[in-house]
Amino acid sequence: MPGIQNFKFVEEFIPAIGSGELLLKTLYVSVDPYLRGKMATTHDPFEIGDAISSKVISEVLESNNENFCKGDLVIGYLDWKEYQKSNGSGLMKVDPGGAPLTAYLGVLGVTGLTAYFALSDIGQPRSGETLVVSGAAGAVGSIAGQIGKIMGCRVVGIVGTDEKKDLIKRKFSFDEGINYRAVPDMKRAIATVCPAGVDIYFDNVGGEISDGVLANLNDNARVPVSGAISNYNDMEIPNGPRVLPLVVYKRLLIRGFLIADFASRFDEGRKQLLTWLNEGKITYSETIINGFDNLPQAFIGLFEGRNEGKMIVRLL
């Protein structure tokens, strides 16, 4: 489990910009579970001592780059810094008239697109099927559940508090919720609320919660594996039940993905999500923490369930 002691605040001068460069002022920072993986020795790790980076929305304060003007709002993978320079590569302009700015870090950003592509392409929902979503009150899960409802599924969400259980039913139209902290036996809890079994399991958390859901899958069920946050802080992955026999005789499709796999279709996904948002068919929650100094605590809070919907830090 990361702690505050793993982070260091460093003061620097605001950089001068050269030819083709921009000076950016950070407005909003996305904190995300995948950053934990980059703090370990897995894929493309952060270097100890370097600034952490994630999706950031910034304002252009000065520009020597013909593609950007002073006052433009941009989004991109940027450092956790109050001010920084950029050569503009990888930055996308954000239209503040299209949707609230922070939506581009959540429902219209990586987490909304993850919900959309993983559910529609891998989950392939059909009307009348039962969809179970773990991490259901989070940024990805809350959108995945609502898309499942649009597709005509009966949707059950798994969350970590009774407040979140109420939230997913009241705000995100889930049919049922399970507080995993309040049930001693997840396999039985799922069997009770899913009497017809589970056709699609959208997995955000892994671990024992997923063991309980997998045991209730129907023949030909699909399992988009988005993440396994319950294991991100484990030094060794604990053994669980062996699921391969189940995969064979139930003809299961269990498929992992990285949202970057769908990059060529992001415009399509964003357009669909914006349409549903404007039609009132989906809605979203955000937990916005104020202050650059609170970035580490906001990130750590993801592993303590302190967010409803997208966790974002706003710089004052």
Q: Point out which residues bind ligand NAP (CB under 6 A).
A: 32-34, 110-111, 114, 135, 137-141, 159-161, 164, 204-205, 209, 226-230, 257-259, 302-303, 305, 307, 311
Q: Which is nearer to ligand NAP, 125 or 212 (CB)?
A: 212
Q: 3-state class of 145 per DSSP?
A: helix
Q: Provide the minimum distance between the beta carbon of 187 and ligand NAP in the complex, in angstroms, as a whole number.
A: 16
Structural tokens at position 68: 């950007």
Q: Residue with structure tokens 């830090």? A: 313
Nearer to ligand NAP, 145 or 227 (CB): 227
In contact, 216 and 189? CB cutoff 8 Å: no
Q: Are strands 130-134 and 253-256 parallel, antiparallel or unpaired?
A: unpaired
Specify the DSSP class assigned to residue 237.
Answer: P
Q: How far is the CB of 257 from ligand NAP (least distance, A)?
A: 6
Place of tokens 């460069």: 21
Residue nearer to ligand NAP on the CB measure, 94 or 300 = 300
What are the φ and ψ backbone dihedral angles of 235, each rounded to 5 degrees? -75, -35
CB of 147 to ligand NAP, least distance (A): 14
The nearest distance, CB 59 to ligand NAP, in angstroms, is: 24
Number of Cβ atoms within 10 Å of the Cβ of 40: 12
Q: Which is nearer to ligand NAP, 158 or 315 (CB)?
A: 158
Q: Which is nearer to ligand NAP, 54 or 216 (CB)?
A: 54
Q: Tell me the closest approach of the beta carbon of residue 307 to ligand NAP, in angstroms.
A: 5
- CA distance readout (Å), 305 to 17, 225, 296: 40, 20, 15
